[in-house]
Structure 1
Amino acid sequence: MEEPSPKIAHVLARTGAHLARAGTVGRGLSVAEWSNRDNYARYDGPGHHTVSVYLAGGEGVVREDRDLRGGAPDKLCLLPAGHESRWRIGGPLRMFHLYVDPEEFAHRAVTAFDVDPRRIRLHDATFCDDPALAAVVRGAVMPLDWAEPGDRSALDAACHLLLHGVLRRHIDKEPGEVRAGLSPAARCRVMEMVEAHLDEALTLDRLAAEARLSTFHFAKMFRISFGLPPHRYLAARRIARAKSLLRAGQPLGEVALACGYGSQSHFNRAFKAATDRTPGEWRRWS
């Protein structure tokens, strides 16, 4: 079982909460099941979004910074990246967490809904009702063995269904048009090109041509649109693809070639720089 890496998981671990199990889903998603009782937690600007669903208990939980109480089984909490909150946990509880990297959140917003990620804001929601999401967690996520390779594809589908529901019902869209950055059409073309050609040497010139912009202007507009330069975006998508192939059991050499690395040694260095583990170590732990 792989320890979850997001900051909220680290905070919970320091409070004495018990991690029952955890797993990585790939493409910026990870999951955890926690039990906790009678302590405090404070979150200061985590760098990821958290979708939390109470599985048992929660009636004694208080969000002190907003003086909110009313937790119960199936209640949903949404904690956006960068938020701050203080919690008092009274009594026992058990909860599920889905951790979402903001880059993956933005990627899903573009690909599923063609929404400019700069125009959306995840709700900061506490003890709200969403029976559909709670049903997905209880019926599709919790019964799976997160460490069993045969359950990985089902876990991936269930977590992306959760994320889809969050994007449909729990975001605000800022009014008006975002004029800077790539147009929605150019954004989609470039993203589709990247996903279809991760096994190739994608140059900045080639991506700029797909967006029908000069190389200099494309690099500037891409960074405005995605919050990072093209080479970092491409590297992140290659690592995400590599994780999926590693979980599927493909040989390391084939994974390296499928993700655009010229050699297995280059792949090993890039993967370890991104995950702090070699591909083989990551596969054993995930």
Structure 2
Amino acid sequence: MAALDQLQVFQSMNSSPHARLLRSAALGDGLGAAQWSNHHDCRDYQAPSHHTLSCYLAGGTGTFRRDQPHSKGGPDKLCILPAGHESAWVINGEIQLAHLYVSQEQFALGAVRLLDREPRELQLRERTFLDDPLQASLFRRLTRLDWDEPGERLLTSSLAHQLLDRALLSQVRRRDGLRLTGGLAPAQRRRLREYIDSHLAEPLSLGQLAALCALSEYHFARMFQLSFGLPPHRYLLNQRLARAQVLLRQSALPLGEIALACGFASASHFSNRFRQAFAATPGQYRSAFAG
């Protein structure tokens, strides 16, 4: 994910003389969080490249969209702002809110993992002032954590994933008038997922994966990205890191053994990749979830 200050929704808020950034954190894994206060303001969002989940923490009863002036916000109200949407907001009075920013790549991974669907088939429903007590509770738990403390930032990341999973399971719909071309067939997609998940400890080449679909490497790579939302090597790395997270949380295996079990050449290679993805070492991650 791009740095937070390059995200359009974050930029729009940060450029306002009335809004104040209370705190923010890049959580790794294509996720970022921010907490804001604002008052007597107008904000426009213009086709952001990322998804935004928003929860009002306090105030907001004078907040509305310009095209929906009779619908007002309030504490625990949620807004779902998909990538590519456009919206204009009027803020009367005081408001505090939390944002979760989600990369399209992370959305794609969730679509494949949770829903067994091509990301191209799906879109996040744009929702304004949604009532979802579970999602609001997750947001409030997220805002009670210290994002600057490494262990609590990792717990924040875990809650952020739960928020995204909730949105994927309850706030996603199939795109209207969709005609998909050029991707992998559902059976091929499932075969690849199962093969990759059962061979994470082994070196996997593009040629091996392409052979499972009886395709040339060139055509396979293009079709894989269409169907999975990211290139094969990025998907494979994500799955290896996800397996490592599970082993760090649920086992006492030494880091070297976890590295080998997840297909990394060495503990140092594993640690470097893990730190790049999650802004924390494997040891810090394990400590955050201990007990």
8 Å contact kept, 1:238–1:260: no
Q: Is the 8 A contact 2:39 2:92 kept in 1?
A: yes
Distance 1:194 1:152 in 2: 29
Q: Distance in 1 between matches of 2:199 and 2:24?
A: 31
Matches within 5 A, 1:95-110: 95-110=97-112
Q: Is the deviation greater in 157-166 or in 64-73?
A: 64-73
Normalising by structure 1, we get a TM-score of 0.76
SS of the counterpart of 1:69?
coil
Runs of 4+ aligned structure 1 residues displaced above 6 Å come to 195-200, 238-241, 255-259
Counterparts of 2:230 and 2:280 in 1: how far apart (Å)? 24
Superposition RMSD in Å: 3.9
Change in 2 beyond 3 A, CA 1:256/1:279: farther
Tell me which residue corresponds to 1:88.
90
Residue of structure 2 aligned with 1:123, choices 118, 125, 139: 125
1:209 pairs with one of 197, 208, 211: 211
Instruction: Return the offset for 1:24.
Output: 2.2
Change (3 A) 1:31 1:216: same
* TM-superposed deviation, 1:66: 4.0
Please say which of residues 216-225 and 35-44 is displaced more in the overlay. 216-225
Distance in 2, Cα, partners of 1:261 & 1:63: 52
Please give the alpha-carbon distance, in whole angstroms, between the structure 2 residues aligned to 1:171 and 1:187: 20
1:36-76, Cα deviation, whole Å (9 max, x unpaired): 11111111110000000000011111211444531000001
* CA–CA separation in structure 2 for the residues paired with 1:13 and 1:160: 24
Mapped contact 2:105–2:230 kept (Cα < 8 A) = no
Counterpart for residue 4 of structure 1:
4
1:38 and 1:197 mapped to 2: Cα distance?
55
1:158 matches 2:176: no
Give the Cα separation in 2 of the matches to 1:148 and 1:233: 29
Runs of 5+ unmatched residues, structure 1: 249-254
Q: How does 1:187-202 map to 2 (within 5 A)?
A: 187-191=189-193, 202=204
Compute the displacement of 1:113 (Å): 1.9
Q: Secondary structure of the equivalent of 2:137?
A: helix
**Range that drifts further, 170-179 or 84-93:** 170-179
Name the counterpart of 1:46: 48
The alpha carbon displacement at 1:126 in A equals 0.8
Tell me the CA shift for residue 197 of structure 1: 6.9
- What's the counterpart of residue 58 of structure 1? 60
Distance 1:163 1:44 in 2: 22
Q: Is contact 1:199–1:261 with CA below 8 Å preserved after alignment?
A: no
Of stretches 179-188 and 94-103 in structure 1, the one that deviates more from structure 2 is: 179-188
> 219-228 or 126-135: which moved more?
219-228
1:110–1:188 Cα contact (<8 Å) kept: no
CA distance in 1 between counterparts of 2:58 and 2:27 reads 24
- Return the TM-score normalized by structure 2: 0.74
Paired with 1:259 and 1:94, the residues of 2 have a C-alpha distance of: 44
Partner residue in 1 for 2:184: 182
Structure 2 CA distance, aligned partners of 1:203 and 1:75?
Answer: 47
Over 3 Å counting, the alpha-carbon distance change for 1:149 and 1:199 in structure 2 is farther
Change (3 A) 1:83 1:177: closer
Shift of 1:225: 1.5
Residue 32 in structure 1 maps to residue 34 in structure 2: yes
Structure 1: which amino acid aligns with 2:133?
P
Q: For the residues of structure 2 that align with 1:209 and 1:170, how far apart are their CA atoms? A: 36
Which residue of 1 is the match for residue 172 of structure 2?
A: 171
Distance 1:97 1:158 in 2: 13
In the TM superposition, residue 260 of structure 1 has moved relative to its aligned partner by 5.7
Letter in 2 for 1:154: L
2:67 and 2:264 map into 1 onto residues whose CA distance is 47
For 2:41 and 2:73, the matched residues in 1 are separated by 15
Contact 2:120/2:226 (8 A) holds in 1:
no
CA distance in 1, matches of 2:191, 2:14: 42
Asked if the contact 1:49/1:102 (under 8 Å) is kept, the reply is: yes
